[in-house]
Structure 1
């Protein structure tokens, strides 16, 4: 009861929201790169918000199912197929025993997510099922998926009422340039006023040095007053470090726990999915916002997810109401 990995793809791992509370002991948080796509995938299946999924990068896996389940695929458009027939993204898909899921290629974005209504049978390690590849813990044997791996389900196929109505029309990652909103600091005083202006008014390019640990950008030099070195302190998801070479590096899910380079800003949480779905040579600009603005944007994001939930469940309610009315009418005329 589960699925067999026919092809592991370029980088396919088990992830959830991450392993929090252990950075002081040197363990990275890990977790999904695109939190929004992750949450929508679980929302489509009525899964708990933090239920583990498969995250894949640039090239999707090929999976053969050994039992029935329902899945949802979100993130970049990798043109998913079931038994070589195209299927929709952002939709609850019924998978039968023997079905093979694969992907024709990456059309938009760079990362995709597969959620399962039967829940992945992956052990919880330090409060999370996320894979930390560098430490070799969590996920499936602490590593990326390889050809021939087998992952079971924790439960039998969950009953999902009117799953065919669970569909969203979203295609969010077809872009060449993104604007990332940032809260300045915590060490913006290390940089000259000209350096801060450069950071906020220049165009940067995503380099090939882009993985789950961080994204190195190429562009104008960001000047600092004396040195970029600081006493090492903690690093948040989205911290923008500027080492001595003067080019920004945005630190991501598998970031180190502490760092000794000054951080000029932090990308706000609602914009991190945009960066996670960027590709090499995409253009990036930065825009400063206040903490209060960032908090309001997060509240708006939560409201937006609630609206998506309403869009998913409203057709289900309408179908249920129609069936209840029909049932009552049939009783009247019996």
Structure 2
């Protein structure tokens, strides 16, 4: 069990979300960087999709009221356990009474704290994810607060090397698959969407110009600042279903990228959709950061998904071999 001893707003419990309820207006929620979440669980030998702590406001500190294994993934927060520095993307063992501290990251937006057995909160509609808009799921449907105690689920003994072990972050291991422009802008691949051609010449400008993540962005959607784009004619559209990654353009002309708490429906025209394999990178984009959209093909999207799947499977295999070797030595 852990206790939160310092936190900011918007830190929550998340898992892979609650799909299947959009037809009744319930957003899926879930981790903004599901890749980081999945790797944290793999390092601990957890079942896929168990709940973790998503940290997006810092500093963040927790104490281990009972000893147990944990993993840190996502943004490098210069983590310390009782003042001793820990590498990013790392799994380690904590003793009862030790304090884990996460500082503001130098880059990226969100860190994930995974616990052996997962964060044990009640399931709502098959998920432990927090829906802040609906005030349900997670820890009483709200953000984490000082004094909150979070139990971990039942788990078999976790075998970790002394001092812990970790993995090469995906941005480094797969840098050829996930390039960044020379000026530091994030390159996000997307496919043209249903109303793309309604924007005429502005559709070309959507792809060419840089966009900045606005301060009005949140888990529901990233609002982008830049030279506005507009359709060549005003069209009346019925509301239609939307999912994370859909890029809509409201009348003001600055796009909105739907994120984990995406609306279930909307009537703004859709100019593009971020490929699923790049959504974790969007989830790590900070307020004020710059990105450029790059046209992708379905074949390219599938190739990137295969590379990610191979990366994840390599981590899974390595972690399993480490545990088996430690069990054999015990």
Q: Does the TM-score normalized on the shorter chain lie above 0.5?
A: yes
Compute the displacement of 1:264 (Å). 0.5
Task: Give deviations 1:170-198, integer Å, cap 9, x for gaps.
Answer: 37399731110001112213221x11101
**How far apart in 2 are the matches of 1:58 and 1:124?**
25
Compute the displacement of 1:10 (Å). 3.2
The answer on whether the counterparts of 1:168 and 1:312 sit within 8 Å (CA) in structure 2 is no
* SS of 2:244 mapped into structure 1: coil
For 1:309, the equivalent position in structure 2 comes to: 316
- Unaligned ranges ≥5, structure 1: 325-334
The answer on whether the counterparts of 1:10 and 1:58 sit within 8 Å (CA) in structure 2 is yes
TM-score by length of 2: 0.91
**How far apart in 1 are the matches of 2:267 and 2:70?**
42
For 2:143, the equivalent position in structure 1 comes to: 144
Q: RMSD between aligned alpha carbons?
A: 2.1
Compute the displacement of 1:108 (Å). 2.0
For 1:115, the equivalent position in structure 2 comes to: 114
Compute the displacement of 1:85 (Å). 2.0
The answer on whether the counterparts of 2:4 and 2:149 sit within 8 Å (CA) in structure 1 is yes
**How far apart in 2 are the matches of 1:242 and 1:260?**
10
- Unaligned ranges ≥5, structure 2: 173-178
The answer on whether the counterparts of 2:63 and 2:100 sit within 8 Å (CA) in structure 1 is yes
**How far apart in 2 are the matches of 1:214 and 1:85?**
36
The answer on whether the counterparts of 1:229 and 1:261 sit within 8 Å (CA) in structure 2 is no
**How far apart in 2 are the matches of 1:34 and 1:171?**
12
Task: Give deviations 1:10-56, integer Å, cap 9, x for gaps.
Answer: 32100001011111111111000001111111111111111100001
Compute the displacement of 1:214 (Å). 0.8
For 1:180, the equivalent position in structure 2 comes to: 188
> Where in structure 2 are the equivalents of 1:62-211 lying within 5 Å?
62-155=61-154, 158-164=156-162, 166-170=165-169, 172=171, 176-192=184-200, 194-211=201-218
Task: Give deviations 1:194-251, integer Å, cap 9, x for gaps.
Answer: 1110111111111111211111111122231212652100111111011111111111
Structure 1, 229-238 or 136-145: larger mean CA deviation: 229-238
**How far apart in 1 are the matches of 2:236 and 2:38?**
37
| 1:64–1:189 distance in 2 versus 1, CA, 3 Å | same
**How far apart in 2 are the matches of 1:319 and 1:67?**
22
**How far apart in 1 are the matches of 2:270 and 2:124?**
30
> Where in structure 2 are the equivalents of 1:230-309 lying within 5 Å?
230-309=237-316
**How far apart in 2 are the matches of 1:167 and 1:21?**
34
TM-score by length of 1: 0.90
Aligned residues: 320
* SS of 1:41 mapped into structure 2: helix
For 1:15, the equivalent position in structure 2 comes to: 14
Compute the displacement of 1:303 (Å). 1.1
* SS of 1:5 mapped into structure 2: strand
* SS of 1:172 mapped into structure 2: helix
